[in-house]
Amino acid sequence: MTTDQMLIETIKNLNSNIEILNNHLENLTKNIPVLTEVVDANFGATKDLVDELKQR
């Protein structure tokens, strides 16, 4: 395999990896609103629990 062929293969692999990373990023981005809701709900529940424990 020539150097040019190796470079072409490397570039193809890099492009493929970039595409895979873009797909992962897209999936993560889609999940951010759901994760935010979960974090907010947990924070609210924790705050309520702390308030309740303070009143005891």
2-45: pLDDT as tens digits: 999 999 999 999 999 999 999 999 999 999 999 999 999 999 99
Q: Can you give 21-56 as a three-state secondary structure string?
A: HHHHHHHHHHHHHHHHHHHHHHHHHHHHHHHHHHHC
The pLDDT score that the predictor gives to residue 39 is 96
Average the pLDDT over 40-51 and give the result. Answer: 96
The pLDDT score that the predictor gives to residue 5 is 97
The pLDDT score that the predictor gives to residue 56 is 92
Distance in angstroms (rounded) separating the CA atoms of residues 32 and 28: 6
What predicted TM-score, i.e. pTM, was given to this entire model? 0.61
